[in-house]
């Protein structure tokens, strides 16, 4: 009799009401379900995603154009992923607990990736630097000039572009003249790291450690152009950067 009565009973099912509008269900088979959110929750998710992406783009750290574009694309993809995952997690529909947790975890992971990309760009992105040439005027062969480079943060390498200009128009000394630029660390010029540049060339200098204040020494060579050549040095750009495989 008891066996027949037990057979007529429906499968055991419990429902637990949770605060915040979410419901957790347990079925006899042990499966758990969650129902959370609704239109209001989806609206909050959408607003937070758009606001977060906008703030991240507007307040992006200084970097090269390629690095900035890559960062913005990654940030937008992370924001879209987070919003989509939370949108479905908070749609108010009944879903398995495993699926709900997976959607939330994917959203959190995307947000963490976006935050990590911001941190990496702030620590390793290219920085425009201010360079000052300290010389007494036009330079002849083997004359030296000191330069100082300053930036807002420290990096391990310096990329510079040099312009060699004739003192007198039409001398054509700039065509075959070169300038060797080397870093000066702790008062000692690092000749092994010197780069020899012709007019309008770009050189990359290893600074032997992360630095935001750099001293350089430039030596002019006009031996192929003539000993009487007089030149002016001008550096069009100076960029402090790191050598990391993932940096563009």
**Residue ranges of domains in the chain:** 2-124, 128-241
Return d(Cα 124, Cα 140) in angstroms, integer.
Answer: 38
Per-residue pLDDT band for 35 (boundaries 50, 70, 90) equals confident
- Give the separation between CA 99 and CA 33, rounded to whole angstroms: 9
More confident residue, 169 or 48: 48
Across the range 26-54, mean pLDDT stands at: 84
Note the pLDDT of residue 13: 42
Which pLDDT does position 79 carry in this prediction?
Answer: 96
CA–CA dist 38, 168 (Å, integer): 76
Q: In a 3-state reduction of DSSP, which class is residue 190? A: coil
Nearest to 233 by CA among 132, 149, 128: 132
CB 26 within 8 A of CB 12: no
Residue 124 corresponds to which tokens in the numbers above? 């390793």
**Any residues with CB less than 8 A from the CB of 123 and at least 6 apart, and which?**
none
Question: Half-sphere exposure of 232 toward its Cβ, with a 13 Å CA cutoff?
Answer: 9
**CA distance readout (Å), 111 to 50, 85, 118, 162, 181:** 13, 11, 11, 42, 43
SS3 127: strand
pLDDT level of residue 151 (50, 70, 90 thresholds): very high
State which H helix or E strand residue 8 sits in: helix 2-8
Would you say 232 and 136 are in contact if contact means Cβ atoms under 8 Å apart?
Answer: no
222: Cβ–Cβ under 8 A, 6 or more apart, which residues? 140, 141, 173, 177, 229, 231
Query: Options 1.10.287, 2.60.120, 3.30.410, 1.20.140; which CATH number does 128-241 get?
Result: 2.60.120
Q: Which of 185, 165, 174 has the alpha carbon at shortest distance from 236?
A: 165
pLDDT digits (tens, 9 = 90+) for 83-110: 999 999 999 888 899 999 999 999 999 9
Question: Tell me, what's the pLDDT at 248?
Answer: 56
Task: Kindly tell me the burial class for residue 243, based on how many C-beta atoms sit within 10 Å of its own C-beta (0-12, 13-18, 19 or more).
Answer: exposed
Measuring CA to CA, which residue among 80, 81, 100 is closest to residue 89?
Answer: 100
Q: What residue has token string 């935050």? A: 115
């Amino acid at each position: 009799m008891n066996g027949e009565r037990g057979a007529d009973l429906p499968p055991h099912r419990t429902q637990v009401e949770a605060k915040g509008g979410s419901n957790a269900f347990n079925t006899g088979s042990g499966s758990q379900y969650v129902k959370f959110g609704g239109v209001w929750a989806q609206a909050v998710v959408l607003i937070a995603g758009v606001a977060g992406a906008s703030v991240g783009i507007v307040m992006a750290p200084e970097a090269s154009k390629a690095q900035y574009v890559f960062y913005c694309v990654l940030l937008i993809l992370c924001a879209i992923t987070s919003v989509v995952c939370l949108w479905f997690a908070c749609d108010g529909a009944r879903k398995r607990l495993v699926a709900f947790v997976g959607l939330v975890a994917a959203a959190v992971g995307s947000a963490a990736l976006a935050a990590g990309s911001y941190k990496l760009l702030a620590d390793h992105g290219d920085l425009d630097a201010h360079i000052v040439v300290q010389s007494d005027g036009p330079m002849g062969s083997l004359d030296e000039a000191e330069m100082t480079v300053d930036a807002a943060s420290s990096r391990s390498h310096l990329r510079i572009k040099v312009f060699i200009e004739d003192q007198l128009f039409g001398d054509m000394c700039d065509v075959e003249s070169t300038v060797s630029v080397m870093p000066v660390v702790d008062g000692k010029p690092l000749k092994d790291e010197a780069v020899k540049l012709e007019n309008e060339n770009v050189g990359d200098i290893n600074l032997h450690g992360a630095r935001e204040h750099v001293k350089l020494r430039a030596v002019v060579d006009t031996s192929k152009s003539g000993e009487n050549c007089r030149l002016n040095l001008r550096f069009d750009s100076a960029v402090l950067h790191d050598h990391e495989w993932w940096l563009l």
